Amino acid sequence: MKKLIEDNYQSIVDRGLISPSTTKLDFINKLFEEVHEFEESIYDLNWANIEEELADVIMVCLNFAKHYKIDIEEEIKKKIKVNQQRAKDGK
């Protein structure tokens, strides 16, 4: 997963879409744009676009994590454990 995150991030940096000055608001705006495109593809029932747009949403989130030095793989593992415990507790 770490290589995917790095390759994804670097490809966007190489395109000039992420730089050291990219802000949290920039990421949020991009995420809203991609979620909107994902939503449109769902309404159109265009499965090829749904898959691509879902990937775009995830990639923006991964880029945010990489940019702000969040170990997203570790955070996902921790969240899975929380959800597993909630399932055991019946919540």
2-15+23-88: which CATH architecture?
Answer: Orthogonal Bundle (1.10)
In the prediction, which pLDDT does 27 show? Answer: 98
Contacts of 49 (CB under 8 A, 6+ apart): 37, 41
CB 9 within 8 A of CB 18: yes
In the prediction, which pLDDT does 9 show? Answer: 97
In the prediction, which pLDDT does 91 show? Answer: 73
> Is the four-CA dihedral 53, 63, 7, 1 of positive or negative sign?
negative
State the Cα–Cα distance between residues 76 and 80, nearest whole angstrom.
Answer: 6
Is pTM beyond 0.95 here? no
In the prediction, which pLDDT does 17 show? Answer: 96
In the prediction, which pLDDT does 64 show? Answer: 98
Residues of the chain falling short of pLDDT 50: none
Largest distance between two CA atoms of the chain:
47
In the prediction, which pLDDT does 47 show? Answer: 82
Q: Where are the domains of the chain?
A: 2-15+23-88
**Helical ranges in 1-91 per DSSP H:** 2-14, 24-43, 47-67, 72-88
